[in-house]
């Protein structure tokens, strides 16, 4: 039984050809040409897409999957021309699918111009799949469509990552202040572009201005690569594995680890899972930083309480908003203090922020009463206000809003971090084959 089964029969230069694409349940795609297997993918639940190119004499055959109006549609192109399964497929194609493929060919063209290889990330949604990898002059480069969390939303855009010879701090400053970089930022018309320069790795993320797909035509990637490589030297032809025994003597592979390009020997690539297991252990053994976290959190809660009190005294109730944001700020302060994000820290941030809010409400009420001359300053009056407050509906309300903040911010933050760590400790490693470094 096949869950995918497509058969294309056609003639080329008077010779009959048959291409079959099939996929069995729990298995990956398989492609046959004239009865002979030309491709078999790794069995994986994750693989959503397919893009395979093979050569038949002087002809380029390309089998791929593109999202159609309902389900995936499978396409065969021979030397860039579609071969249709039937009339109805031709009809569907002329509409939406052709457009999707056009974006893909934009990326393929870009790859060609830059001397890179179109290597779609098949585990991503179609719009986020396009990616080009390889050597730009002698720099290992990965670029494509991706997304980056900004605040609480994930923004789509381009990413570009370049490996280079290590830079010193002075050089990094010089690049950051350079006119050509300023010019580049001006040309992409966004203030959100996110540039990071590490000693040996430079990356940029440029959010999209328009629709995702239309960006395939953009020259952002080309402009950036041409601009930035003027400042850089290519990395040494040396294995970049952490503890490589023979960094200079081995054949190097171009490998993408969690989206970043590296050059490594086969031994070091095999070591990657162990290396990350070690990192995970170190993380687990790292101190919780509880004291520091609580101190930072309490300091922020105190400032928040004073602001809250002032808002009650002068504007008469903005307390609800503060109760919500108090949680977020305490949480961020604990992160700043490098307190490990755990269930304990999420709950502690809640407790601290509730105390902060209560303290603020109390201060505010006292201040308000004094301002309006409802009370005279005495310990008895201060105690009375406290008693009245804890019996009122104000505190339960604050606790309720605080809990909303805790769920939205704390638990989400914890979840996001778990996801991040999971990826960091179980990196995705892709070895890109058939790439030649230019001499």
Which residues, 6 or more positions from 352, have their beta carbon under 8 angstroms from its beta carbon?
294, 297, 298, 301, 330
Instruction: Mark residues 379-398: x for contact with Zn ion by CB under 5 A, - for none.
Output: --------------------
Q: Which is nearer to Zn ion, 232 or 239 (CB)?
A: 239
Q: Which is nearer to Zn ion, 252 or 323 (CB)?
A: 252
Instruction: Mark residues 45-74: x for contact with Zn ion by CB under 5 A, - for none.
Output: ------------------------------
Q: Order across the sheet with 29-33: list the strands.
A: 4-12, 15-23, 29-33, 36-40
Q: What's the closest the beta carbon of residue 437 comes to Zn ion, in angstroms? A: 16
Q: What's the closest the beta carbon of residue 237 comes to Zn ion, in angstroms? A: 12
For residues 216-245, which are near Zn ion according to CB under 5 A? 239, 241, 244
Q: Which is nearer to Zn ion, 295 or 429 (CB)?
A: 429
8-state DSSP, 428 = -
Q: What's the closest the beta carbon of residue 166 comes to Zn ion, in angstroms? A: 17
* CA distance linking residue 239 with residue 232, whole number of Å: 19
Instruction: Mark residues 278-317: x for contact with Zn ion by CB under 5 A, - for none.
Output: ----------------------------------------
Q: What's the closest the beta carbon of residue 432 comes to Zn ion, in angstroms? A: 16
- Within 85-157, where are the H helices? 87-92, 98-114
Q: Which is nearer to Zn ion, 253 or 302 (CB)?
A: 253
- Number of residues counted as binding Zn ion (CB under 5 A): 5
Torsion of CA 123, 128, 134, 139, to 10 degrees: -130
Q: Which is nearer to Zn ion, 244 or 370 (CB)?
A: 244
Beta carbons of 148 and 205 less than 8 angstroms apart: yes
Strand 29-33 to 36-40 pairing? antiparallel
Which residues, 6 or more positions from 215, have their beta carbon under 8 angstroms from its beta carbon?
145, 158, 208
Handedness of CA 35, 40, 46, 50 (dihedral sign): negative
Instruction: Mark residues 246-275: x for contact with Zn ion by CB under 5 A, - for none.
Output: -------------------x--x-------
Q: What's the closest the beta carbon of residue 233 comes to Zn ion, in angstroms? A: 21
Size of the chain in residues: 439
Q: What's the closest the beta carbon of residue 121 comes to Zn ion, in angstroms? A: 25
Q: What's the closest the beta carbon of residue 336 comes to Zn ion, in angstroms? A: 37
HSE, side-chain direction, 13 A CA sphere, residue 101: 24
Task: Return the closest-CA partner of residue 54 out of 74, 72, 76, 73.
Answer: 76
What tokens appear for 253 in the block?
């592979």
Q: Which is nearer to Zn ion, 241 or 304 (CB)?
A: 241
Q: What's the closest the beta carbon of residue 241 comes to Zn ion, in angstroms? A: 4
Q: Which is nearer to Zn ion, 239 or 313 (CB)?
A: 239
Beta carbons of 68 and 89 less than 8 angstroms apart: no
Q: Which is nearer to Zn ion, 268 or 312 (CB)?
A: 268
**Interface residue list for Zn ion (CB under 5 A):** 239, 241, 244, 265, 268
């Amino acid at each position: 039984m096949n869950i995918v089964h497509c058969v294309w029969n056609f003639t080329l230069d008077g010779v009959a050809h048959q291409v079959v694409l099939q996929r069995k349940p729990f298995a990956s795609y398989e492609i046959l040409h004239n009865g002979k297997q030309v491709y078999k993918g790794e069995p994986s639940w994750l693989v959503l897409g397919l893009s395979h190119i093979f050569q038949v004499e002087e002809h380029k055959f390309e089998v791929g999957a593109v999202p159609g109006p309902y389900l995936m549609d499978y396409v065969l192109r021979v030397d860039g021309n579609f071969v249709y399964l039937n009339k109805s497929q031709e009809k569907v194609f002329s509409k939406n699918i052709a457009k999707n493929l056009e974006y893909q060919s934009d990326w393929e063209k870009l790859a060609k111009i830059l001397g890179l290889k179109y290597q779609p990330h098949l585990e991503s949604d179609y719009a986020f799949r396009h990616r080009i990898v390889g050597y730009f002059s002698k720099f290992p480069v990965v670029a494509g469509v991706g997304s980056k969390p900004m605040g609480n939303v994930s923004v789509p855009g381009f990413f570009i990552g370049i490996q280079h010879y290590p830079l010193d701090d002075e050089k990094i400053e010089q690049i950051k202040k350079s006119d050509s970089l300023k010019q580049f930022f001006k040309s992409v018309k966004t203030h959100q572009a996110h540039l990071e320069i590490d000693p040996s790795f430079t990356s940029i993320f440029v959010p999209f201005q328009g629709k995702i797909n239309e960006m395939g035509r953009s020259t952002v990637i080309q402009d950036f690569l041409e601009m930035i490589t003027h400042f850089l030297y290519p990395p040494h032809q040396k294995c970049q594995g952490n503890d490589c025994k023979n960094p200079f003597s081995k054949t190097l592979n171009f490998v993408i680890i969690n989206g970043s390009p590296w050059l490594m020997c086969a031994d070091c690539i095999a070591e990657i899972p162990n290396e990350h297991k070690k990192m995970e252990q170190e993380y687990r053994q790292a101190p919780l930083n509880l004291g520091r976290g609580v101190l930072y959190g309490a300091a922020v809660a105190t400032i928040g309480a004073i602001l809250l009190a002032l808002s009650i005294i002068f504007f008469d109730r903005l307390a609800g908003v503060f109760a919500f944001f108090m949680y977020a700020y305490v949480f961020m302060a604990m992160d700043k203090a490098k307190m490990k994000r755990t269930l304990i820290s999420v709950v502690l941030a809640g407790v601290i922020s509730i105390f902060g809010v209560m303290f603020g409400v109390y201060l505010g009420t006292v201040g308000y009463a004094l301002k309006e001359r409802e009370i005279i300053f005495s310990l008895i009056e201060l105690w009375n206000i406290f008693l009245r407050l804890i019996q009122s509906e104000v505190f339960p309300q604050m606790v309720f809003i605080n809990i909303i903040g805790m769920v939205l911010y704390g638990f989400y933050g914890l979840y996001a971090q778990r996801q991040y760590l999971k990826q960091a400790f179980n990196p995705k490693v892709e070895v890109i084959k058939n790439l030649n470094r230019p001499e």
